[in-house]
Each structure stands twice: as C-alpha cells, then as structure tokens.
Amino acid sequence: MLRNIIDITDLTVEEIDQLIATAEDILANPAKYQDACAHKQLATLFFEPSTRTRLSFESAMLALGGSVLGFSEAASSSTAKGETVGDTVHTVSCYADIIAMRHPKEGAPYAAAQFSEVPIINAGDGGHNHPTQTLTDLLTIHREKGRLDNFTIGFCGDLKFGRTVHSLVNALSRYENIRFVLISPAELKLPRYVKEEALKKRGIPYEQTESLEEVMPKLDILYMTRVQKERFFNEEDYLRLKDSYILTPEKLAEAKPDLSILHPLPRVNEISVAVDKDPRAAYWKQVKNGKFIRMALILKLLNIPTFS
C-alpha cells in the first residue's frame, strides 16, 4: 500500500519508536545500509527555501546507495509557467520512487499526494506541519534523555507560525506524562486548533507564559524557535516581535544542569552563539540526527527491510 507522511500522526507511536530504533542501528552500523536503496531515486521538490531539510534528505538517500533529483526553488520548475502542483507531482512520480516536498501553502503536500503514484513526504507546508523535523526532534530527545516520556518541555518563540512546534506538540501529546510549557508573546501563541487537537482533546495540561526566565528552572528540554519572518503580514509586527527571546549563557544560569536545548534551525539571533559551547546545547547534534531518521523513514516507505 502507498504510504504518505503528511502529518506526524500518519505514523503510530509504535512506528515512530521503530524508526528511532532503525536510525540508531544505522548510526551504529552505517555500512550495513550503504546499498539498501541501490537503483532507487528520491525527488526533492522544494517550492520554499531550505538548507537542512533538503540536504539531509539528499544526503540520506545517497548514504543508502540511492540517487536524487529535484529542484530547490519554484522559479526553476514549470510552476513558473503556471503548472499546478498536482501536475508537477504527477510528472515527478513518473521518474522517482519517493518524493519529499516543501511548499509555502498549508495542505499542498496533501493535495499533491492525490496525484502521485509514489509516497509523498511533507517536508514542511507553510505555517502548518513539518513531520520529518519532528522525527529528528524525537530522535534527538531520545538520544539526549534516553526516553520520550516523563519530562517538562518548554516551547519558546514563534509558536503561531512555527510548523515544527505544531508537529512536535502533536507527536509528544501521545507519550506519557509530558508537561508542556508554551512561552511566547501574546501575538505568537500556539494556534487554538493545535491546542484543541493535541492537548485539550487528550486532557493534557499546559501552561502559557510570556516569561522564559520564570519557567527556566523547571524545564528538562527547551525548544527554541525563530520568529517566522516570511509568514508575517506586515514588517512592522515582525520588527516589534523579532527580538522577543534571546537565549544567552546568563539566562541559562537558573536552568537545570541536564537541560537539553533544541532548535530546528536556522537561527537568526534567538540563541547567542556563546550558548553553542554549553554542553546542554543539542541543536548541532539535532542537525546530524536529521539525516539518520530520514534514512530510516525512506527505508520504511519504500518497504525495504531493516535489521533493527
């Protein structure tokens, strides 16, 4: 059966745990997997800018012995001539075995999947979802903490437009005893539909605050995010809100010694470079993990047996 990953809940918790186990096995024994996708092709269709997501997908497929094709901006595809996303994806599905697609419009990968003959992976749709960043985040939390339950996580920054936040809240709401602390300016709060679907429906308590300092001592994980400039309707609002939170070594003085600091990246200025040296900074490890969990996902969607 054709499987698409449009939303993180397209995967069960058991499947996510299995993907993490596969990623761990690939990390430990990369040579075992080096020809697993021989003669298979991944297409990356990026209608929006990307560094990590696109290149980690490509690097993942190359490390599995497969090959890659695609485009990294809409302007270099037939979109510029007026072709619909559905026709573009239908075309590419005639050439590739699997497609990773990023698009500025919410829901575009879901719509495109109706025209595809091969699995579609949502690599980010507007301010909506980003399920493979969530897999990256979950692998990172698992590696840092040794578990995916029983912790307090603070999400800080642009919780309104941050699609990585929406998908990660959704994913973690299915694990036991996660305490959610939502830290943002009033204008950038987590959207009501995410709170309803992920938290309220499941009866999961959460706390909302504007002060990072106040909640810092109780956090086990701090998930920092960039204010999503490209999603604002006017520049004035962006300029007013862009410096709402800047994490510095001084602000970490009150944090737990075993805090893990995550960020999907790219960062603008919300984490000072001085924090990179702090052993609690896990965001560069997170970048690396993104490749291995995407390797595991490609194997799963192509129905290629793994060894874990």
Residues within the interface to ligand NCD (CB under 6 A): 52-53, 124, 130, 133, 163-164, 226, 264-266
Task: Name the residue nearer to ligand NCD (CB basis): 124 or 154.
Answer: 124
What DSSP assignment string belongs to the chain?
Answer: ----BSSGGGS-HHHHHHHHHHHHHHHH-GGGGTTTTTT-EEEEEESS--SHHHHHHHHHHHHTT-EEEEESSGGGSGGGGT--HHHHHHHHTTT-SEEEEEESSTTHHHHHHTT-SS-EEEEEETTTB-HHHHHHHHHHHHHHHS-SSSEEEEEES-TTT-HHHHHHHHHHTTSTTEEEEEE--GGGPPPHHHIIIIIITTT--EEEES-HHHHGGG-SEEEE----GGG-S-HHHHHHHTTS--B-TGGGGGS-TT-EEE--S--SSSB-GGGGGSTTB-HHHHHHHHHHHHHHHHHHHTT-----
Task: Name the residue nearer to ligand NCD (CB basis): 22 or 56.
Answer: 56
Closest approach of ligand NCD to the CB of residue 2, in Å: 25
Task: Name the residue nearer to ligand NCD (CB basis): 10 or 35.
Answer: 10
Task: Name the residue nearer to ligand NCD (CB basis): 103 or 226.
Answer: 226
For 18, the token pair is 């299995």
Closest approach of ligand NCD to the CB of residue 136, in Å: 8
Closest approach of ligand NCD to the CB of residue 265, in Å: 5
Closest approach of ligand NCD to the CB of residue 164, in Å: 5
Task: Name the residue nearer to ligand NCD (CB basis): 209 or 228.
Answer: 228
Closest approach of ligand NCD to the CB of residue 242, in Å: 12
Closest approach of ligand NCD to the CB of residue 191, in Å: 15
Task: Name the residue nearer to ligand NCD (CB basis): 164 or 306.
Answer: 164
